[in-house]
Amino acid sequence: LNNYSNNVTKQAIKDACDSFTKFFNGYSNFPKFKSKKKSRHSFYQDTEKIKITKTHVKLEKLTTSRKRNKQKFNWIKLAEKGRIPTGKNIKYINPRITYDGLNWWISIGVKEEKENNTSYQTEGIGIDLGVKELAVISNGEKFKNINKSPKMKKLMKKHKRLQKQISRKYDMNKTEIEGRENRYKYHKTKNIVKAEKKLKRLYRRIKGIRDDYIHQITTSLVKAKPKYIVIEDLNVSGMLKNKKFARAIFEQSLRGFRRKLEYKCKWNDINLIITDRYFPSSKICSNCEHIKLDLKLSNRKYQCDSCGLELDRDLNASINLKDYPIKHKHSVA
């Protein structure tokens, strides 16, 4: 332990203390111990000791070298240059270094003063999230499901093929455990390790494309400076229990869309309104407010039995979401 900074171990105890405090206050479940095999490897660095330039980062007491100039070895070259702000007045918060199985990543908070600008350019909008289209906006704008694009289909097919190759390699290198029937021991060869790294790189690329697409959508919505944004409180965990749509819902990353939209609205002082979970946005007519109880999932067009309105199902839902704070007397200030 003397080869590394004591802030790493102290912060781990502080994190455990915070987890137990949240548990006893009823904010989270009971904390779980990390597993060496499954958990993500990460450690903390002291904000006073870390030093950052446009091209390098210096971490506290990381090298095990016994030379006098060992501090020089602590300067690590950054793969992405100029991404972290530097300067005398910059204050860093909670730097963490994580390992994803391929590369090491540094994430750090930066404290800076923000100008309050509450001048809204457009009226409020409603966003209907789904599987066929990722997001349908109340102004008629649609954002397609990127997982249906030819590029993503090709990458997913390659990912599936690599998974099968690795599975066959494990079956070729298994040996039966003595004294136990139908119990095998699997040997991880160098070829399996190389194949798994290739699979991780491919999955990271797929995940990066999805995350970047969601970032582009949420940023464009926030930059339009609407007066307020309304989205549904989707039960994603319950939706994933449906075997027919579980994979499509998982690939859409609906929970990630909401999380990104929440903090971007907070940064830009935009009121984000979450509707009641049981609000029937798809079944209500956006023209006369008639509720169509027999609406099926296969009905992609909404046809009102009262006023005869014919409209796209998702667009009708997004318009109802836009009108939600007005009809339910929700504060939009």
pLDDT, tens digit, 9 for 90 and up, residues 315-333? 888 888 888 888 766 555 4
Retrieve residue 306's tokens.
């009262």
pLDDT of residue 73: 60
How long a stretch of residues is the chain? 333
What are residue 133's phi and psi, to 5 degrees?
Answer: -120, 140
What's residue 63's pLDDT?
60
- Residue pair 93/113 in contact by the 8 Å Cβ criterion: no
Tell me which amino acid residue 236 is: V
* Positions in the chain whose pLDDT score sits under 50: 71, 333
Residues 6+ apart with CB under 8 A from 42: 96, 97, 98, 99
The residue type at 266: K
Contacts of 239 (CB under 8 A, 6+ apart): 245, 246, 249
pLDDT of residue 173: 84
Residue owning tokens 């190759």:
165
Q: What is the pLDDT of residue 333?
A: 47
Say if CB 263 and CB 222 are below 8 A apart.
no
At residue 158, the pLDDT reads: 96
pTM above 0.85, yes or no: no
H-only helix segments in 55-189 = 150-172
Q: At a CB cut-off of 8 Å and minimum separation 6, what does 323 contact?
A: 126, 286
Is beta strand 51-52 parallel, antiparallel or unpaired with respect to 91-99? unpaired
3-state secondary structure (DSSP) of residue 294: coil
